[in-house]
Structure 1
Amino acid sequence: MEKYYLAALQHVFNLSEGVIGKLLDHFKTGENIWQVSPREIKGSNILSDTQFKYYNDFHRKNTDFPKQLAEKCQKLKIRLTSIHDEDYPPLLKEIFFPPYVLFYRGTLQNDLPRLAMVGSRKITPYGRAAAEKLGRELAAQGVCIISGAAYGVDTECHKSALTIGTTEAVLGCGVDIAYPSSNRKLLDEIAEKGAVLSEYVPGTPPIKTNFPARNRIIAGMAMGILVIEAMERSGSLITVEHGINANRDIFAVPGSIFSPSSLGCNKLIQQGAKLVLDSEDIISEYRDKIKIKTLSKKNGNIEKDFVLSAEEERIYAILKPDIPLSVDDIIYKLHGSSPANVAFLLLQMELRGLVRSNDAHYYRNL
């Protein structure tokens, strides 16, 4: 029950981890804090008069809050992890004031390197193509894509990652709430193959002020942040700021100098973010972390893992989701590969569900 007492305190003090930390130093456990008398809380001199009044009023009216929270989470099949647990995302512990408790549906992907992919809600065709390509290629390399499940770039990154790997969505509301509502099915699929998580108790609505705090978790869980498309004052840049404060790598996809949707990305590159033209620009930074290149395709209830050969990797990297290429084009781009071998590998990759061809035998990746 300890994590439910911590969750209650996190809820009461409106994510003020500094206050909770001081209380824990004094009272040792979340349960002790919740069970001691108001006089002892006040006597600790940790809370200001305003904080004590808020805590005392809430506690008096919601004495059984931790128990009720535990029952609600059990009913909704929502799990909790606290900062003291082994399944708590390890990199998140490194940021200033990490949440003491995370609520989640699914399975946290702590065995995979995580990369945050964020961008504009008002996605352009260029941004969608970039999100689809990079999300799929990175997921194919065994990277867990983490984003915020918002309209636009976030949604496309989650979808592309799910076609071949896994992803995690961090919400600015309770994990039992689908926000945006149009992503309800997507969030359920993410929970099946990855995780949907939040620091907010179940039932918390998507209040505007929750999202900047949500962004610090996205940045904190990831080894780096890739910005696909962002305007000059995009909310994605808040995530970047959190990433910089946490010493995370910053990547950005360049765009047209005439496109307002790319102005934020172009300025990030101007300020020192690494320019990304291909997934290899990111993979090359993490060779020590990304050692196994695995593609995961689900067929019914059977999970199959595929390891790409070097030649298959080259073929997959050449293909695009929106521009089908002929076998001759692929052979030309591979510079010297055997035509018979390329044709054979394309057939094998299509049978494994990694690429698709049309009636004219033009191929694209999935």
Structure 2
Amino acid sequence: MSRQVAGTLGQAPADADQLAHWLRLEAVRGVGPETARKLLRRFGLPANVFSADFNALRELVSERIVQALAASPDAALCARIERALQWAGEPGNHILTLADADYPANLLHTADPPLLLYVKGRIELLSRPALAVVGSRNATAQGIVNAEKFAEALSLAGWTIVSGLALGIDTAAHQGALRHAVDGQGAGGATVAVIGTGADIVYPTRNRALAHQIAQAGCIVSEYPLGTAALSANFPRRNRIISGLSRGVLVIEAAAESGSLITARMAAEQGRDVFAIPGSIHSPLAKGCHQLIKQGAKLVESAQDILEEYGQERSGAVLAPADAIAAAPPPDPLLDLLGFDPVDVETLAQRTGQDIASLHAKLLTLELQGRLERLPGEIYRRLQ
């Protein structure tokens, strides 16, 4: 939907009565986003839809939907609308409509923009240059590090980091973007979490503290009414908002059937750039990224690869902030023998000529130093 089409809907609601009509339209049974946009193009603001005569409405929708539009809101719907209005009146909370001047233009220009956006936090971030960082919920230690470092560097370069507040890569991306946040100020710290529940619900609950931090230094966005629980069907659908808000999407670790590939596909359909980090040919979590690269996604090895794509010059401060640099650890022969592909302990024992008991002790030391990770099945992978 273009801004010109949206302009036919009228100006942003000036009072609670106007917003109440939007909330009521959102709740009408049988009226999804596509039907709602059709009605709004014809009649303008929702108040005009509800006051339109039967024949005019019947030209666009079924008689069943016309009857639903004509029905007076019941007590439950009135309570739901009142609750939403009260929520929107609280500091930092906003409900944006398609007619609102603050509705993000990038999302508005996609094929399926939400009728309403429930926003908690810094609403101005929705109109700033953004990049999405997504990936597996069951990420490896290396994937977590990659997500944090890429998000941190991109955030310091001025990009808002968009992700989905899920465990794994999403969590790491938000945390990396927030690393330099000081009450929403400073060089970095801009991040947007697009969630699949109501904006008043935190899911997963393990990310409650992170969600509160994002609401303070970034913002949380949902298209779902307040109180909407975590339903599995909602999460793939919210992915179009993640990509819609962003200039490009970076995929870090994704299995062949990962939901992150849905985000990447939607990004491509929306004309967004798709980036992917390659991995070991033996890793299941690299299969999705390799598939994307075969389909035309840009292979990236550093945040600078993405910045150069958008004409940003190299900056040491962006790529390696001083407070993030650690002294390089001394080389270790065992890491050289381990290589960069996952290796089981029996194979490693053959390579080193050491017995498994002594090898386990050395592997544990390197694991505690953060230089390798242990995977299921007594398999080890180098991190440095």
TM bracket, shorter-chain basis: 0.7 to 0.9
- 2:255 aligned partner, one-letter code: M
Aligned counterpart in structure 1 of residue 41 of structure 2, from 22, 25, 28: 25
Asked whether the equivalents of residues 91 and 222 of structure 1 are also in contact (C-alpha less than 8 Å), the reply is: yes
The DSSP-based 3-state class of the residue aligned with 1:130 is: helix
Q: Contact (CA 8 Å) 2:303, 2:319: kept in 1 or not?
A: no
2:171 to 155, 180, 185: 155
2:118 and 2:55 mapped to 1: Cα distance? Answer: 27
Name the residue aligned to 2:296.
Answer: 272
Q: 1:68 Cα shift?
A: 4.4
Query: Where does residue 88 of structure 2 map in the other structure?
Result: 73
CA apart distance, 1:311 = 5.0
% of aligned pairs identical?
36
Residue in 2 aligned with 1:250? 274
Instruction: Name the larger-Rg structure.
Output: 2
1-structure distance, mates of 2:288, 2:31: 29
> Aligned AA for 2:38?
K
Distance 1:7 1:276 in 2: 43
Q: Distance in 2 between matches of 1:284 and 1:154?
A: 23
Work out whether residues 120 and 220 of structure 2, in 8 Å CA contact, stay in contact via their aligned partners in 1.
yes
Aligned counterparts, 1:144-183, within 5 A: 144-164=160-180, 165-183=189-207
Task: Report the 3-state secondary structure (helix = DSSP H, G, I; strand = E; otherwise coil) of the residue aligned with 1:226.
Answer: strand
Shift of 1:286: 1.4
2:153, 2:318 within 8 Å by CA — same for their partners in 1?
no
Match of 2:54 among 31, 37, 40: 40
Aligned counterpart for 1:127 among listed residues 120, 143, 148: 143
* Aligned 8 A contact 2:133 2:173 in 1: yes
Q: Which residue of 1 aligns with 2:185?
A: none
Name the CA distance, whole Å, in 1 between partners of 2:82 and 2:111.
29
For residues 39-91 of structure 1, what are the alpha-carbon distances to aligned partners after superposition, in whole Å with 9 as ceiling and x for unaligned? 73885332224544655668345563544431243258531122222221111
TM-score by length of 2: 0.72
**CA spacing shift, 1:59–1:47, aligned 2, 3 Å:** farther
Q: Distance in 1 between matches of 2:30 and 2:228?
A: 12
Out of 95, 103, 106, the residue aligned to residue 121 of structure 2 is 106
Structure 1 unaligned segments of length 5 or more: list them. 294-309, 327-366
5+ residue gaps, structure 2, are 1-15, 181-188, 330-384
Paired residue for 2:250? 226
Which amino acid in the other structure matches residue 23 of structure 1? L
Q: Shift of the alpha carbon at 1:320?
A: 6.5
- Cα 1:51–1:314 shift into 2, 3 Å: closer
Local SS of the residue matching 1:277: coil
Aligned CA distance change for structure 1 residues 315 and 243 (closer, same or farther; 3 Å): closer
- Tell me the distance in 1 between the aligned counterparts of 2:228 and 2:71: 19
Q: Name the CA distance, whole Å, in 1 between partners of 2:257 and 2:72.
A: 37
* Secondary structure in 1 matching 2:88: helix
Aligned pairs for 1:1-366 (under 5 A) are 1=16, 2-13=18-29, 16-34=32-50, 36=51, 40=54, 43-52=57-66, 59-60=73-74, 62=76, 64=78, 66-74=81-89, 78-108=93-123, 109-110=125-126, 112-164=128-180, 165-287=189-311, 310=315, 312-313=317-318, 315-316=320-321, 324-325=327-328
CA contact (8 A) 2:92 2:122 kept: no
User: Quick check: 2:239–2:262 contact (8 Å CA) kept in 1?
Assistant: yes
Shift in Å, 1:170:
0.5
Change (3 A) 1:29 1:156: same
CA contact (8 A) 2:31 2:65 kept: no
Q: TM-score, normalised by structure 1?
A: 0.75
Question: Taking structure 1 as reference, are residues 141 and 274 closer, same or farther at Cα in structure 2, changes over 3 Å only?
Answer: same
Contact 1:252 1:275 in 2 (8 A): yes
- Contact between 2:37 and 2:115, CA under 8 Å: does it hold in 1? no
Distance change in 2, residues 1:320/1:111 (3 Å): same
Using the alignment, how far apart are the partners of 2:28 and 2:86 within structure 1?
Answer: 18
1:133–1:320 contact (8 Å) kept in structure 2: no
Alpha-carbon offset, residue 154 of structure 1: 0.4
Q: Aligned with 1:218: secondary structure?
A: helix
CA distance in 1, matches of 2:169, 2:305: 19
Structure 1 residue 5, shift from structure 2 partner: 2.1
- Contact 1:33/1:41, CA 8 A, preserved across alignment: no
Give the deviation of 1:21 after TM superposition. 1.8
Structure 1 position 213, deviation (Å): 1.6
Q: Secondary structure at the match of 1:135?
A: helix
Q: Closer, same or farther in 2 for the Cα pair 1:196/1:110, shift >3 Å?
A: closer
1:70 is paired with a residue of what secondary structure? helix
SS at match of 1:81: strand
Q: 1:56 to 1:173 in 2, by over 3 A?
A: farther
CA–CA distance in 1 between the matches of 2:164 and 2:39? 31
- 1:79 match: secondary structure: strand
How has the CA–CA distance of structure 1 residues 267 and 197 changed in structure 2, closer, same or farther, with 3 Å as cutoff? same
